[in-house]
Amino acid sequence: MLNYLWAGMILAGIFYGAVTGRMAEVTEGALSGVKEAVSLCLTMAGVMALWTGLMEIAGQSGLMKKAAGLLKPVIRFLFPEIPEGHPAQEDISANMIANFLGLGWAATPAGLKAMKSLETLNRTPGTATNAMCTFLIVNISSLQLIPVNMIAYRSQYGSANPAAVIVPAFLATAVTTVCGVAFARVAAGRKAG
């Protein structure tokens, strides 16, 4: 997907630049683009180090386990099809916590593990179960407590208050998740009923 998107961007840009006579600007743009990528990564590195360092403390002092306990009723509500005590519950909660805390690279492995556990409950191989659909929709609607990357980007580009985005972003993400869950509920109910 990204291969075509990336190639398309560059080819379209160069073609359009040739037509509109902006070839010098195109070269200049490519060079300034990579320069910016490097300085952005330097800012990001600091923010990420701070965040993952804190998360490591949270993990080792048992805060993550406590969070998983709090999530239990939520998971029972979202995925009533999963039998109590099934490993899928645990995998889903690990994925949700990672997403919630903005640890994207930890979320994907946990999410794939959750899909494998959900597949063991699937009686129609090749077709998604209700639980799988709900799980994907909740993932795509992005439940995030602190948008760590966005704060880093905003600070790099001179925002007067980079962290000001936290609460508005949380409100927005709550709305998307509620909409997604409601949609999944209605869609699942119609099939079952």
Partner 1 sequence: MMDFLIFLSNFIMPLLIFYIIGCGLLSKQPVYDIFIQGAKKGLSATAELLPTLCGLMAGVSILRASGFLDDAAALAGSVTELFGLPAPVVPVIFVKMFSSSAATGLVLDLFREYGPDSRIGWMVSIMMSCTETIFYTMSVYFMSVHIRKSRYTLAGALFATLAGVAVSILLAG
How many Å apart are CA 119 and CA 147, to the nearest integer?
31
- If binding means CB under 8 A, how many residues of this protein chain bind partner 1? 101
Please report how close the Cβ of residue 81 comes to partner 1 at its closest, in angstroms: 14
Q: Can residue 94 be called a binding residue for partner 1 (CB under 8 A)?
A: no
Rounded to the nearest 5°, which phi and psi values hold at 178? -60, -45
Please report how close the Cβ of residue 98 comes to partner 1 at its closest, in angstroms: 13
How many Å apart are CA 148 and CA 142, to the nearest integer?
13
For partner 1, the binding residue among 44, 68, 74, 121 (CB under 8 A) is 44
Whose CA is closest to 131, among 90, 191, 188, 74? Answer: 188
Q: Can residue 187 be called a binding residue for partner 1 (CB under 8 A)?
A: yes
Judged by CB, which is closer to partner 1: 70, or 179? 179
How many Å apart are CA 107 and CA 145, to the nearest integer?
14
- The conformation of residue 80, written as its DSSP 8-state character, comes to T
List binders of partner 1 among 119-178 (CB under 8 A).
119, 122, 125-128, 132-133, 135-137, 139-142, 144, 146-147, 149-150, 153-154, 156-169, 171-173, 175-177
Judged by CB, which is closer to partner 1: 49, or 76? 49
Q: What does the per-residue mask of binding to partner 1 show for 100-119, with x meaning CB under 8 A?
A: -----x--x--xx--xx-xx
Distances 29 to 17, 24, 43, 45 between C-alpha atoms, Å: 11, 9, 21, 24
How many Å apart are CA 143 and CA 175, to the nearest integer?
10
Judged by CB, which is closer to partner 1: 8, or 76? 8
